[in-house]
A and B are shown apart, each in its own frame.
Chain A
């Protein structure tokens, strides 16, 4: 990853510099906290200090009755209801602010207003609340404990859903196996952490009559739909705008109770309101992630070929089902992705989505897959160790082969194309395992132990209608739209309903436009995140935007290009077949040309210059779906070399290599940045980040002192190799890749640590691999594999 050099390509494939950079660097761009209105009130939420309680009595501070609001003060408002279509799903209604009961520490109880945030917080402290505390469900193991109270009315046990998969013949696999292994794995709960927290600004636009909701969100149109439903309003009465969004990673991809609460209060009072989440709120009360436990039994033959796989998966989804994902999504992804890149045909598994008195679980980069990858990739290494085989060799014997695509997996997914073995061999070549013996020799007699680890991942991206229907969500994210306009002076404005929050989409969509229209990306403006600008669309998540929005922009540009060619040919007095678009001009075969500006001038201001068959104007709206709904599958193999200090339990990453395939690459510099960013977050999951709770449901990390986010010293420079097999189902062959970097690092790093510790008889199967856990594993050889 050298410093980007001067671009020689402006379209797809070029490492052009990002269009959005200068404004972000100047400090002048507009994030949610920068949006004001005359007379705006700052909002502080009074949040529950207890995990589970009935609210017996609420009392506003005397004299502040018009600045403190409970649920009953918000007018007609429905709770957030994220129902899974899966049979047996238990419903949880998530109120905008507490409805007589609190179910996790941090749940909003009252909205308090002040002229400053400090004033509003002081007011929140003065609200009287009488809590009748209930026992808290604070661990997965308690979800079926009949002595604990149900978290939601009418529940017989604190479980959202239990689902099963049973394909092939696992019993036959067990009978035929030369090796059967059972292992337990844990990936603990994490906060998600964007450096800009969530935030909402609401006001009434008297001119349009709209209730305007600015929110630091990934999907404004979908939020508008959800708010309209909860508020009983028409969509035309609402405008939702996402301004500059300072990181998200999934945490801003839910309908938040705070969005609903502020919108309802502005509707009721007419007041302009601003809520900017602080760090403590973010860590304890925004959606959390992960918290998976696995018991995996694998059956293999003597050569390490997997004959069958059994698993019990438990996920703690917290107190509420988040909209639109639903509580069971995480466990559903885990059970669907556990077979991973392997040609496993016999698979039996149970996935339990437990409820608890913790913050709800939401999507975070990778969603479900980091846990599933951790479980299956640790298991592949365990097979290799048990049989005395090389871990890459075992994987090579089990991957779905290139001639087997499209592959219908035992988890119910359809993989489109790939060469998983090529990624593993490339990663192995980069990490050079032959170095390990010498390194071990070098450190012999010291506390340092050297280990090497691999993990292969799959990243389903840009999945369409059928896949989302299968997941049973309330919304089906099957397509994307784009609306493009050429201006009267020949530049391009693209209105897209996706939301760029660091992915560089303003640049990469302009690169697509360059390929279709020959226009310089610097002449393209991409506007996003505003329901009043763009046609309906689904937003940015699930590694979908480059494929889906890139496809929609491509289709729109293709249609516009056809019209431009017609006009250009007419102006040049040649036939349409004899012109092409290049460098901002329509060029005839003979070399004569007419600039886009002149064509736009004719289209808008001089219709007398147009051919009779062409309508004035240069606007196109287009929608795009992939050729198949099953997703474009990126994949890759990570390889890592670590040193473990057996004295302190510290893990040092000595070298990290990634070989991956994300199809056609639109901007290599941006792809490398996404891959590195995902890797860093994966390193956080592997080594540092954890959101523990006490037995009574108190979150134990609420600052960056106790919630450790990787910094510059913790993130090594990885070497990245791109394999780039185009997807057969997407325009341009692009595959999404925003999440992949975060999926395999916990597995690869844990495999490397276990490789280092194996000669000592110690094993560790729980993230994060903190010094404390490593020391405990070393003190209790053989016990580490229990995952406790």
Chain B
């Protein structure tokens, strides 16, 4: 049997540490050690995107990513997006576009869209669909999610012009 080890990482901007077993996944550690429940396991195989979080600025499937590999990394979750009561512009766009229904998959979509807009500030429809192939929404708000991405992109561009 393997033994526990302590990992240290930056979680939503704060330095944290946890003593974990080597087989524990990042989504388990976030849920059970840090009570961050926005990233959720749905398929357990990296096929649905519900557990998407960012590690060192890149989206990963938290259900497959072993927590030990987060040692020394920067981990960002949906809980870190809002500033006080002010939601992130991507979250705001999801509300305005009606881009979700039950909300279970939504944190994963939001985290993937953050990455998409970082890499493609003004994405085409094809780029949006391509980025979102790994995220499933059974309520199937896909067209509205596309609207939300376009809305967030436009706002981001507008904010950049003003800055």
Residues of A within 8 A of B (CB): 1-4, 17-18, 20-22, 24-29, 31, 33-34, 118, 193-197, 244-249, 278-279, 501-504, 669-670, 672-674, 676-677, 679-681, 703-705, 709-713, 715-718
Beta-carbon contacts of B66-79 to A below 8 Å, as 1s and 0s?
00000000000111
- The distance from the CB of B80 to the nearest CB of chain A, in whole angstroms, is 9
Partner of B104, one of A196, A676, A717: A196
List chain B residues, Cβ under 8 A from A677. 101, 139-141
CA gap between A722 and B129 in the complex, in Å: 28
CA gap between A672 and B139 in the complex, in Å: 12
List which B111-128 residues lie within 8 A (CB) of chain A.
Answer: 128
- The distance from the CB of A139 to the nearest CB of chain B, in whole angstroms, is 28
- The distance from the CB of A537 to the nearest CB of chain B, in whole angstroms, is 20
Q: Which residue of A lies closest to B147 (CB)?
A: A3
Partner of A195, one of B23, B77, B136, B146: B136
CA gap between A677 and B97 in the complex, in Å: 14
For chain B, the count of residues having a C-beta within 8 Å of the partner chain is 55
Shortest Cβ-Cβ A-B pairs, 5 listed: A27-B38, A24-B103, A246-B104, A680-B140, A502-B102
Please determine whether B47 and A710 come into contact, CB atoms closer than 8 angstroms: no
Q: A28-B38, A195-B48, A704-B47 are in contact. Are A3 and B140 (CB under 8 A)?
A: no
Partner of B151, one of A3, A20, A249: A3
List chain A residues, Cβ under 8 A from B50. 195
CA gap between A670 and B23 in the complex, in Å: 42
- The distance from the CB of A249 to the nearest CB of chain B, in whole angstroms, is 7
Q: Which residue of A lies closest to B102 (CB)?
A: A502
Q: A26-B82, A703-B47, A704-B48 are in contact. Are A715 and B98 (CB under 8 A)?
A: no
Q: Which residue of B lies closest to A670 (CB)?
A: B98
List chain B residues, Cβ under 8 A from A710. 140
List chain B residues, Cβ under 8 A from A193. 138
List chain A residues, Cβ under 8 A from B36. 27
**Residue B107 CB within 8 A of the other chain:** yes
- The distance from the CB of A40 to the nearest CB of chain B, in whole angstroms, is 11
Q: A25-B94, A676-B144, A713-B129 are in contact. Are A195 and B101 (CB under 8 A)?
A: no
Give me 8 other A-B pairs in contact (C-beta within 8 A), A197-B42, A246-B40, A703-B47 excluded.
A25-B106, A194-B104, A195-B50, A196-B104, A247-B138, A676-B141, A704-B47, A711-B136
List chain A residues, Cβ under 8 A from B40. 31, 33, 196, 246
Q: A246-B103, A501-B102 are in contact. Are A703 and B45 (CB under 8 A)?
A: yes
Please determine whether A195 and B47 come into contact, CB atoms closer than 8 angstroms: no
Partner of A17, one of B42, B95, B130, B147: B95
- The distance from the CB of B65 to the nearest CB of chain A, in whole angstroms, is 17
List chain B residues, Cβ under 8 A from A712. 128-129, 132-133, 135, 142, 145-146
- The distance from the CB of A329 to the nearest CB of chain B, in whole angstroms, is 23
Partner of A196, one of B31, B42, B97, B143: B42
**Residue B9 CB within 8 A of the other chain:** no
Partner of B138, one of A1, A4, A26, A709: A709
Q: Which residue of B lies closest to A742 (CB)?
A: B140
List which B11-29 residues lie within 8 A (CB) of chain A.
Answer: 23
Please determine whether B87 and A22 come into contact, CB atoms closer than 8 angstroms: yes
CA gap between A25 and B99 in the complex, in Å: 10
Partner of A28, one of B45, B79, B102, B140: B79
CA gap between A704 and B48 in the complex, in Å: 8
Partner of B97, one of A3, A22, A28: A3
Q: Which residue of B lies closest to A709 (CB)?
A: B136
CA gap between A1 and B132 in the complex, in Å: 20
- The distance from the CB of A657 to the nearest CB of chain B, in whole angstroms, is 14
Please determine whether A22 and B95 come into contact, CB atoms closer than 8 angstroms: yes
List chain A residues, Cβ under 8 A from B42. 195-197, 279
CA gap between A717 and B128 in the complex, in Å: 14
List chain A residues, Cβ under 8 A from B148. 3
5 contacts between A and B (CB under 8 A): A27-B77, A28-B79, A33-B40, A248-B102, A502-B101
